[in-house]
Amino acid sequence: MTVHRILHLSDTHLRHPDVDAAAALAGILHDLRHLSGLDLVVVSGDLADDGSAEGCAGVREQVGRFCAERGIPHYYCTGNHDTREAFTEVFGSGHVAADGTDLGARMPGTERAAVSELDGLRVITLDSLVPGAVYGELGEAQLAWLREVLATPAPAGSVVILHHPPLTVPTSLVMDRVNLRDAAALADAVRGTDVRMILCGHFHLQLSGLLAGVPVWVTPGVVSRIDLSTSPGLLRVVRGGGASVVELGGPASPVGHVLHARDPRAGELLQLVDATSGQDAVEAP
- Kindly give the interhelix angle for 140-150 and 183-190, rounded to the nearest 10 degrees: 20
Q: Which has the closest alpha carbon to 89: 76, 74, 107, 108?
A: 76
Q: What is the mean pLDDT of the chain?
A: 94
| pLDDT at residue 267, rounded to an integer | 85
Range name among 77-91, 178-192, 220-234 with the lowest pLDDT average: 220-234
Torsions phi, psi for 276 (to 5 deg): -85, -50
Encode pLDDT of 37-96 as tens digits: 999 999 999 999 999 999 999 999 999 999 999 999 999 999 999 999 999 999 999 999
DSSP classification of residue 115: E
| pLDDT at residue 264, rounded to an integer | 85
| pLDDT at residue 284, rounded to an integer | 62
Range name among 186-190, 237-241, 270-274 with the lowest pLDDT average: 270-274
pLDDT interval class at 170 (50, 70, 90): confident
Q: Does the structure show a pLDDT above 90 at 111?
A: yes
159 vs 197: CA distance, rounded Å: 5
Q: What is the largest CA-CA distance in the chain?
A: 56
Torsions phi, psi for 248 (to 5 deg): -120, 135
Domain membership of residue 70 (yes or no) is yes
Asked if 126 and 113 count as a contact pair (C-beta separation under 8 A), the reply is yes
SS3 content of the chain, % helix, strand, coil (to 5): 20, 30, 50
Domain membership of residue 283 (yes or no) is no
Q: Does the structure show a pLDDT above 80 at 278?
A: no
| pLDDT at residue 24, rounded to an integer | 96
Print the domain residue range for 265: 4-274
CB atoms closer than 10 angstroms to residue 54: 12
Residue 123 buriedness (CB in 10 A; 0-12 / 13-18 / 19+): buried
pLDDT interval class at 230 (50, 70, 90): confident
| pLDDT at residue 93, rounded to an integer | 98
Asked if 220 and 244 count as a contact pair (C-beta separation under 8 A), the reply is yes
Residue 141 buriedness (CB in 10 A; 0-12 / 13-18 / 19+): middle
pTM as predicted: 0.95
AA identity, residue 65: R
Encode pLDDT of 126-142 as tens digits: 999 999 999 999 999 99
The two counts, helices (H) then strands (E), for the chain are 5, 16
Residues 6+ apart with CB under 8 A from 6: 38, 39, 40, 41, 42, 159, 199, 245, 246, 247, 248
CB atoms closer than 10 angstroms to residue 5: 18
Range name among 34-43, 171-180, 217-226 with the lowest pLDDT average: 171-180
CATH of the domain at 196: 3.60.21.10
Q: At 206, is the secondary structure helix, strand, or coil?
A: coil
181 vs 213: CA distance, rounded Å: 19
| pLDDT at residue 175, rounded to an integer | 83
Domain membership of residue 184 (yes or no) is yes
Adjacent-strand bridge partners of 123: 116, 159
| pLDDT at residue 244, rounded to an integer | 98
Looking at the structure of the chain, the number of domains it has is 1
